Structure 1
Amino acid sequence: MDLLIKLDIELHEEMSIPLLIDIFSRMILTCESITHEKEAAWYLTADTLEEALQKKAFNEYAPTDLLETIPYFDCMESIWANETKALKIKYTSSGLIYNLEFIIEEINHVNKNSIIDALDYYFDTYKIVCMRIDTNGYRYNRKNVFPDRLPVGWMLYLNQIITQEQVPMAAQLITIENEKNKGTLIISKEGVFDGSNKDDIKKSNEIEIQLTALGLLPLIREIYN
């Protein structure tokens, strides 16, 4: 069984090419820590595969000289390693959303703790508005309860302190508190969350309902205002 994992991070940072390169480097490391696989190279996109293969952006996670010469943001909207691994950036009016999407071929290789460890860097380094980890199209296939609110999926970070007493059905709540961020990482399931599994969907739905009842689950439009 394949597991499609999608990581969405909403950052509010003043962007620059060095910061953008750092984001991509870190995402490659995140990808490696979750898949336990290293890619020899990552490439910029182009009109054809032949052209793209001439635009090596990273040797593993180390940037190449090519990145120092590209026009600001012209080519750095996405990089790719193979047909199942791509790192993408989507621009918004209030900041940037960084999307990490890849396929895990064997579900047993996914480790929740390695994912959490990989996220620590983002929490310590960037101002995060929200962060979501989705699997197998939970949000894309509209399995969440409220289409106008953030989905919980497997993991959701919100910039507010939430206690286990408030959301007892959550598998784990991790408090994030440092110079950059103060909030809570909500984890719906201890094991691997499958966004197409009926029981997992029900668990995430219950958490979304409870958070909404407490006024803790933001509207999507509130995130971008």
Structure 2
Amino acid sequence: MDLSIKLDVELQEEMSIPLLIDIFSHMILTCESITHEKEESWYLTGDTLEEALQKKAFNEYTPTDLLKTIPYFDCMESIWANENKALNVKYTSSGLIYNLEFKLRDISISNKVSIIDALGYYFDAYKIVCMRIDTNGYRYNDKNVFPDRFPVGWMLYLNKIITQEQVPMAAQLITIENEKNKGTLIISKEGVFDGSNKDDIKKSNEIEIQLTALGLLPLIREIYN
């Protein structure tokens, strides 16, 4: 199963090399927690595979001198371990909202608890604007109801308090409340969500419709504009 995790985070400081290294380090740990696999090396991207393999970013958890001396930032920095694992950090010119993106392919997902536990660090470390977790291309294949609004997929975190009474069809609602965040993690299905399964798609669609009717599902442009 392919797993896609997207976190839109608001940082209290401008992006820097030390901060980028710290984010990537924790993203690597998150991948290990979810996949139960440890990679010896992670690489920066290149125009060809041969070029990329010369641009090692991490030896296990240790950043290389190359990563420490990136001369400038593009709009996105990426590292990868193999064809099934890629981590991206995208950032805007305003330096406010950053997108941390995990793309993990062909993995066996044990349960939602392991994923929630693995992502707990981010709720404590960053102000989360939005968090989305999809499997098997739910959003990529346009299975969500509203193309201009955030998809629910398997899990969706919104920085607002939502109750079970408001969205009774959701499998679980987890309130996140700490110094950084106050919101709700909406979980559409108790077991593993399959973004290509008709019943799972229907369940997520129902939640999207209900949230929109209540004015709780934001437009994408409300976040990025």
Could you tell me whether the CA contact under 8 Å between 1:57 and 1:79 is conserved in 2? yes
Deviations 1:79-114 (A, max 9, x none): 1101111112233355221111011344xx432111
Residue 2 of structure 2 aligns to a residue whose secondary structure is strand
The residue identity in structure 2 corresponding to 1:97 is N
The structural deviation recorded for 1:158 is 0.2
Give the 5 Å matches for 1:151-162: 151-162=151-162
Match of residue 138 from structure 1: 138
What's the TM-score, normalizing by structure 1? Answer: 0.93
| Structure 2: unaligned runs, 5 residues or longer | none
The residue identity in structure 1 corresponding to 2:90 is K
Match of residue 178 from structure 1: 178
Question: C-alpha distance in 2, partners of 1:113/1:59?
Answer: 29
Match of residue 104 from structure 1: 106
The structural deviation recorded for 1:152 is 0.2
Matched residues, percent identical?
A: 81
Match of residue 9 from structure 2: 11
Does 38-47 or 60-69 show the bigger shift? 60-69
Match of residue 211 from structure 2: 211
Give the 5 Å matches for 1:1-225: 3-13=1-11, 14-74=14-74, 77-92=77-92, 94-106=96-108, 109-225=109-225
The structural deviation recorded for 1:46 is 1.5
The residue identity in structure 1 corresponding to 2:213 is A
Aligned length in residues: 221
The residue identity in structure 2 corresponding to 1:141 is N
Q: Report the CA distance shift for 1:58/1:153 in structure 2 as closer, same or farther (over 3 A).
A: same
Question: C-alpha distance in 1, partners of 2:50/2:206?
Answer: 48
Does 194-203 or 22-31 show the bigger shift? 22-31
The structural deviation recorded for 1:76 is 6.6
The residue identity in structure 1 corresponding to 2:55 is K
Residue 77 of structure 1 aligns to a residue whose secondary structure is strand
| Structure 1: unaligned runs, 5 residues or longer | none
Residue 123 of structure 1 aligns to a residue whose secondary structure is helix
Deviations 1:38-93 (A, max 9, x none): 11110111122222222211122332222221213259711110111111223335
The residue identity in structure 1 corresponding to 2:97 is G
